[in-house]
Amino acid sequence: MPDDPYTIADLARLAGVTPRTVRYYVAQGLLPSPEAAGPGTRYSAGHLARLRLIRHLQREHLPLAEIRNRLASLGDEEVRGLVGEGGETRVPAAPAQTLAYVQDLMARTGVQSRVSAAHEAAAPYQARYEPLVPDAFPTRAAPGDPVTPTPASTPWTAEPRPLPPDRSTWERHTLNPDVELHIRRPLDRRTNKRVDQLIRIARELFDDEG
């Protein structure tokens, strides 16, 4: 709306991001589009609250896909309620989000998911990551594609177990609007450990920047 208080520069400054990040989130559907485009574009208090919540969830290392899922289910009032005065937030976990969280923990530490596809289908959200990647990007193996079994060097699998084809997914970590890291999960334990280290270091590197 024209009455909305913030220019993109105001909004970015208040949330501690660059204007470019704001545009990026809008393009990715994490923030609603402002009412009018162009240099006179104004953003609302709802945008600011949402933006702060996104930053908070990013600090918790949630992938953008999950952040988008969470925000999608929240109204402006709820978002404002979650971004407390102290900047502390607590997002109520929907059941599907809890499942996604547990499965993310399992994937990160090489524990194989045992919840059948039927369960996942019943969940309102796609429980595994739906990375926000361009259409042309090969997000996951097609059902018939050959699948490489995970190496059996890890101590908890006595035998290499070929993973069902639909279990391999790309996970995207946005380090800043211009830099991304793509990881195909699940990974074997050694690689997983290294990747975790890589993400940690990369986050520190880019978080310092702001």
Nearest CB to another protein, comparing residues 101 and 170: 101
Residue 168, both tokens = 């391999």
Please report how the helices 64-72 and 45-59 are oriented relative to each other, as an axis angle in degrees rounded to 10: 140
Nearest CB to another protein, comparing residues 96 and 133: 96
Nearest CB to another protein, comparing residues 37 and 114: 114
> 139-145: long-range contacts (C-beta < 8 A, 24 or more apart)?
139/169, 139/170, 140/166, 140/168, 140/169, 140/170, 141/165, 141/166, 141/168
* Site residues (CB under 8 A) for another protein, limited to 56-95: 84-86, 88, 90, 93-95
Asked if 37 touches another protein (CB under 8 A), the answer is no
Least distance in angstroms from the C-beta of 36 to another protein: 37
Residue 10, both tokens = 């105001």
Q: Which of 142, 158, 178, 209 binds another protein (CB under 8 A)?
A: 158
Residue 184 Cα distances to 115, 123, 206, angstroms: 20, 23, 22
Q: CB atoms < 10 A from the CB of 162, how many?
A: 11
* Site residues (CB under 8 A) for another protein, limited to 91-130: 93-95, 97-99, 101-103, 105-106, 109-116, 119
Least distance in angstroms from the C-beta of 107 to another protein: 10
Least distance in angstroms from the C-beta of 98 to another protein: 4
Terminal-to-terminal C-alpha distance of the chain: 29
Residue 77 region, left (φ>0) first, then alpha (ψ -120 to 50), else beta?
alpha
Nearest CB to another protein, comparing residues 87 and 146: 87
Residues near another protein (CB under 8 A), total: 29
Least distance in angstroms from the C-beta of 39 to another protein: 38
Binding site for another protein (CB under 8 A): 84-86, 88, 90, 93-95, 97-99, 101-103, 105-106, 109-116, 119, 155-158
